[in-house]
Amino acid sequence: MGQVAFVIWRESIEALLLISIIFAWIKQNADSQQGMKYLWFGVVIGCGVSVLLASIIYGVFNALGDTEQSIFMIVMEFVACVLIVQMVCWMNSRGKMLKSELDSGLSEQTKRHSWWGVTLIVAIAIAREGSEIVVFLSSFIMNLNSHNAVEFFAEVIGGIALAALTIYLFSLFKRFIPWKIFFNITGIILLFLALSLLLRGVEESINLLIQYDYAVPDFLYLPAWNTTAIIDDSTVFGNLLASFFAYRSQPIWLSVITFVLYWIVVGSFMVLGSKNEQQS
């Protein structure tokens, strides 16, 4: 499973969980048939917002010149990295309260006899997940063409299908595999994916600076070590490690420094998030 399918799978699971929680809540309501219409209307709106954002990113990118495209791609890689880290930290600190917060919000809207309020809650929840997916995959979206479009959309559909299957399997075996363990493991992989995006953005940035003759300290782009003889990142396995775990067989010193600083910052956020969860 490639990066696209993994991100779609992981984020679709969250979106489908949100839908299933709201679905179960509405089924308990006396006017459940009416509520279901507004639930699916909210899902359609949320998906539409996500598709619109993807179209805007693709359109803006293709309207730019070569240099501007490079800068735009670097910025989106940095933004995607920040969003992934923020999302994982948020799930780490607020995940346990997700269902109760949704229930309270839905109850409040029902007390006001406002099914449109339920639609808004669903639309915002789906749009949030979908928008994150779009930003996470922005570098893939910007590079879509007739040669790779089929593979990209196949991974998107495959990721959604796998997410639905995962939700079903967890409903059968949830006593043996807690959701918390699942989200912890996939959250770690997502943090490595965020690091891969960050390193790609940093490396593309220094290449752009060198290309335009900006003064860059020599040691920053010199190789720190060479593990090509052990695992070459140009091989299938090495490329997999590079894509999912930010592996470099010949990393430059700037990448090594970025790697260390990233985990210091992320580790600090995770510790603070755990403390806040315990105090809640």
Segment 3-23 shows an average pLDDT of: 79
Please give the pLDDT value at position 253. 95
Which two three-digit tokens encode residue 178?
């807690």
Residue 171 has pLDDT above 80, yes or no: no
- Residue bearing the bigger pLDDT, 208 or 275: 208
Segment 47-62 shows an average pLDDT of: 88
Residue 7 has pLDDT above 60, yes or no: yes
Please give the pLDDT value at position 102. 53
Query: Average pLDDT, whole number, for the chain?
Result: 81
- Residue bearing the bigger pLDDT, 84 or 227: 227
Q: How confident is the model at residue 86 (pLDDT cuts 50, 70, 90)?
A: confident
Residue 132 has pLDDT above 70, yes or no: yes
Q: Residue 167 and residue 162: Cα distance in Å, rounded? A: 9
Its domain, for residue 54, covers: 3-279
Please give the pLDDT value at position 175. 63
How far, in Å, are 88, 92, 97, 98, 269 from residue 272 at the CA level? 13, 10, 17, 19, 5
Q: How confident is the model at residue 42 (pLDDT cuts 50, 70, 90)?
A: confident
User: Of the ranges 66-75, 81-90, 120-129, 140-149, which is most confident?
Assistant: 66-75
Segment 188-195 shows an average pLDDT of: 87
Segment 117-144 shows an average pLDDT of: 80
For the whole prediction, is pTM greater than 0.85? no
- SS (HEC) of the chain: CCHHHHHHHHHHHHHHHHHHHHHHHHHCCCCHHHHHHHHHHHHHHHHHHHHHHHHHHHHHHHHCCHHHHHHHHHHHHHHHHHHHHHHHHHHHHHHHHHHHHHHHHHHHHHHCCCHHHHHHHHHHHHHHHHHHHHHHCHHHHHCCCCCCHHHHHHHHHHHHHHHHHHHHHHHHHCCCCCHHHHHHHHHHHHHHHHHHHHHHHHHHHHHHHHHCCCCCCHHHHCECCCCCCCCCCCCHHHHHHHHHHCCCCCCEHHHHHHHHHHHHHHHHHHHHHHHHHHHC
Burial category of 63 from C-beta neighbours within 10 Å (exposed 0-12, middle 13-18, buried 19 and up)? exposed
Please give the pLDDT value at position 249. 92
Please give the pLDDT value at position 230. 93
Q: What is the dihedral of CA 197, 268, 233, 2, to 10 degrees?
A: -50
Residue 96 has pLDDT above 70, yes or no: no
Please give the pLDDT value at position 58. 86
Please give the share of the chain, as a percent, with pLDDT higher than 90.
Answer: 17
- Residue bearing the bigger pLDDT, 114 or 181: 181
* Domains in the chain, number: 1
Please give the pLDDT value at position 94. 57
- Residue bearing the bigger pLDDT, 165 or 176: 165
Q: Which of 158-162, 246-250, 273-277 has the lowest mean pLDDT?
A: 273-277
Place of tokens 């493991």: 185
Residue 128 has pLDDT above 70, yes or no: yes
